[in-house]
Amino acid sequence: MTTQPRTLYQKIWDAHVVDTRDDGTCLIYIDRHIVHEVTSPQAFAALRASGRKVRRPDLHIAVPDHNLPTTARRDASGNRVPIADPQSAQQLDLLEKNAPEFGIRYIGDADIEQGIVHVVGPEQGFSLPGATIVCGDSHTACNGGLGALAFGIGTSEVEHVMATQTLLLKQSKTFQVNVEGKLGAGVSPKDVILHIIGLVGTAGGTGYVIEYTGNVFREMSIEGRLTVSNMSIEAGARAGLIAPDETTFAYVKGRPYAPVGAEWDKAVAWWKSLATDPGATYDKSIHIRAEDIEPTVTWGTSPEDTAPIGGVVPAPEDFEDASKRDAVKHSLEYMGLTPGTKLTDIAVENVFIGSCTNSRIEDIRAAAAILKGRKKADNVKWAIVVPGSGLVKAQAEAEGLDKIILEAGLEWREPGCSACLAMNPDKVPAGERCASTSNRNFTGRQGPGARTHLVSPAMAAAAAVTGHLADVRELTEQA
């Protein structure tokens, strides 16, 4: 092994190389795989057809999330509420059967541990720093907030990991995103990552793994780091990483799958050694001042279409690149926006607080802090808060946050992906706007014709009570 100074990424990579081929492709060992209902049925079927087993069932857990409705899953007498969409029902049913057949732990639809794959992994201590983690969903990058090398895979790769516990990969380049300084009031981790994507662009990280460095991330909670790393994919990168530190260890310790005793000590010693060495170089770097980041929203149909909440909708002519000008024109048409409109003048009919980006307890607390003592605006027709897991839900209820949310006139749902993607009953109607804490504002992502504005949980709550995109700082100053 090399004695050259190495980056965090290089160290995790080196620790997982099973074999190196002549063309530089490596067989990489995969420590953890989280399985959900949408990208796994064909993989299980292929294993069955070829008479293969899951090599290490203990390194996989299965949990339904993508097309599970977020309404009650059991009726008053404890019977399962049938799922209306037959294809969703079939996928869910198959996961429930496939996982135990192949010896994989299945977390059921009404279990308290059930939740969104990328919320469940860290919460259960199944995702650990320094681990290689995969899942058939691109936002697996989320786990990078713990200092794990985590990325999304396709169905063929799901099968490959199940059968061999490895993947054939080529090393990525490294991209350092450094944010130093002091974040202003009302600026959340979501605003930090939206700001970064706005600067870097959705192709900026293509071919790279991003490492987030600087005091802003060091001082950030793990939940905040998960939010940031989650959207590495929207910056074009396959994965994000934040060096594990004392905050990470404190978060992991005591979780159901976390190591204990002597193994814990050994783990911490190794995790401490993972931080990028002084003198190690990145393939590229960007340095951002924390003071430049404001509460940020998106106005278009690409996650790079960001602006500070105090700004206005841009015009296509504001962009130098001809193809971007064209994209902006189409974006604004789809979004039904006129250049020059103040962002705070954009009315919203829907509010979604949830998704693997922003559905953990700190997110629910941030939203509840704004909702407390306020009421949903009359023009907001649909506003839901969807906790990321049953455990987040229970914690929020123990803190009385559900009451604040319900009193404000928002709905409090069962855990799942919900309105992050139009795959389950939670959809935004065509032509309507949604202030959403999710991660993608693509055309049709929240439903055909739906218009998404990506925001932080506090900003989504602010939109719910004002009826338009709003600067959360104005609400907190009054309070």
Partner 1 sequence: MTPISQVSGRAYPFGRKNVDTDVIIPAQWLKTVTREGLGQGCLESVKAEPGNVFTDPEYAGSPLLIAGDNFGCGSSREHAAWALLDMGVTCVIAPSFSDIFSGNAFKNGILTVVLPQEAIDRLMEVAKTDPISVDLENQSVTTPFQDRFLFEIDPFRKHCLLGGLDEVGLTLAQDREISAYEGKAREALPFLASPVLHAA
Q: Does 260 bind partner 1 (CB under 8 A)?
A: yes
DSSP secondary structure, 219-286, as one string = TS-HHHHHHHHHGGGGGT-SEEE----HHHHHHHTT-TTS--HHHHHHHHHHHHTTSPPTT---SEEE
Cα separation of 362 and 268, whole Å? Answer: 25
Q: Which is nearer to partner 1, 123 or 294 (CB)?
A: 123
What DSSP element (H or E) covers 297?
Answer: strand 296-298
Closest approach of partner 1 to the CB of residue 443, in Å: 16
Regarding 367 and contact with ligand SF4 (CB under 6 A), the answer is no
Binding mask 20-39 for partner 1 (x = CB under 8 A): -------x-x-xx-------
Strand order in 284-289's β-sheet? 239-241, 208-213, 173-180, 284-289
Length of the chain: 479
- Identity of the residue numbered 244: P
Binding partner of residue 259 among partner 1, ligand SF4, none, CB under 5 to 8 Å per kind? partner 1
Backbone angles phi, psi at 103, to 5 degrees: 80, 15
Which is nearer to partner 1, 36 or 195 (by Cβ)? 36
Q: Quick one: 138 or 350, whose CB is closer to partner 1?
A: 138
Shortest gap between Cβ of 298 and ligand SF4 (angstroms)? 15
How many angstroms separate the CA atoms of 210 and 52, rounded? 35
Residue among 108, 109, 130, 106 nearest 34 (CA): 106
151 binds partner 1 (CB under 8 A): no
With CA atoms as reference, report the closest residue to 218 among 248, 188, 197. 248
* 471: enclosing H helix or E strand: none
Backbone angles phi, psi at 402, to 5 degrees: -60, -35
CB 167 within 8 A of CB 205: no
What does 258 interact with, of ligand SF4, partner 1, none (CB < 5 to 8 A by kind)? partner 1
Closest distance to partner 1 from the beta carbon of 203 (Å): 19
Please choose, out of 96-104, 116-124, 278-286, 296-304, the segment that lies near ligand SF4 by the rule CB under 6 A: 116-124
Q: Specify the DSSP class assigned to residue 312.
A: B
140 binds partner 1 (CB under 8 A): no
Tell me which stretch binds partner 1 (CB under 8 A): 229-237, 258-266, 368-376, 454-462: 258-266
Among 9, 126, 151, 217, the residue binding partner 1 under the rule CB under 8 A is: 126
Stretch that binds partner 1, among 263-271, 278-286, 305-313, 414-422 (CB under 8 A): 263-271
Nearest distance in Å: CB 259, ligand SF4: 26
Residue 88 sits in the site that holds ligand SF4 (CB under 6 A): no
Classified as helix, coil or strand, 431 is: coil
Q: What are phi and psi of 86, to 5 degrees?
A: -65, -35
Give the whole-angstrom CA distance, residue 390 versus residue 113: 6
Q: What track of x and - describes contact with ligand SF4 for positions 421 through 440 (by CB under 6 A)?
A: x-----------------x-
Q: What are the angstrom distances between the C-alpha of 96 and each of 25, 54, 103, 411?
A: 35, 16, 12, 28
Per rule CB under 8 A, is residue 50 in the interface with partner 1? yes
Per CB under 6 A, does 66 bind ligand SF4? yes
Whether residue 190 contacts residue 294, with contact meaning beta carbons closer than 8 Å, is answered with no
CA–CA gap between residue 362 and residue 365 (Å, rounded): 5
In terms of CB distance, is 52 or 329 closer to partner 1? 52
- Positive or negative CA dihedral for 69, 72, 78, 79? negative
Q: Which residues pair with 269 in a beta bridge?
A: none
| Residue 232 binding ligand SF4, by CB under 6 A | no
123 binds ligand SF4 (CB under 6 A): no
Contact characters 58-97, partner 1, x per CB under 8 A: xx---------------------------x--xx--x---
The one segment of 149-157, 212-220, 350-358, 442-450 that binds partner 1 by CB under 8 A:
149-157
Among 356, 380, 428, 463, binds ligand SF4 (CB under 6 A): 356
Considering only the stretches 6-14, 199-207, 343-351, 413-421, report the one whose residues sit in contact with ligand SF4 under the rule CB under 6 A.
Answer: 413-421
Provide the minimum distance between the beta carbon of 108 and partner 1 in the complex, in angstroms, as a whole number: 15
420 forms part of the interface with ligand SF4 (CB under 6 A): yes
Closest by CA to 257, choosing from 43, 386, 107, 390, is 107
Instruction: Give the one residue of 110, 155, 202, 221 binding partner 1; rule: CB under 8 A.
Output: 155
DSSP 93-147: HHHHHHHHHTT-EE--TTSTT-B-HHHHHHHTT-S-TT-EEEESSGGGGGGGGGT
Q: Does the protein bind partner 1 through residue 42 (CB under 8 A)?
A: yes
Segment lying near partner 1 (by CB under 8 A), choices 153-161, 297-305, 315-323, 403-411:
153-161
Residues in contact with ligand SF4 by CB under 6 A are 65-66, 116-118, 137, 139, 355-356, 417, 420-421, 439
Residues in contact with partner 1 by CB under 8 A are 15, 18-19, 27, 29, 31-32, 41-42, 45-46, 49-50, 52, 55, 58-59, 87, 90-91, 94, 105, 126, 128, 130-131, 154-156, 159-160, 163-166, 168, 255-260, 263-264, 266-267, 270
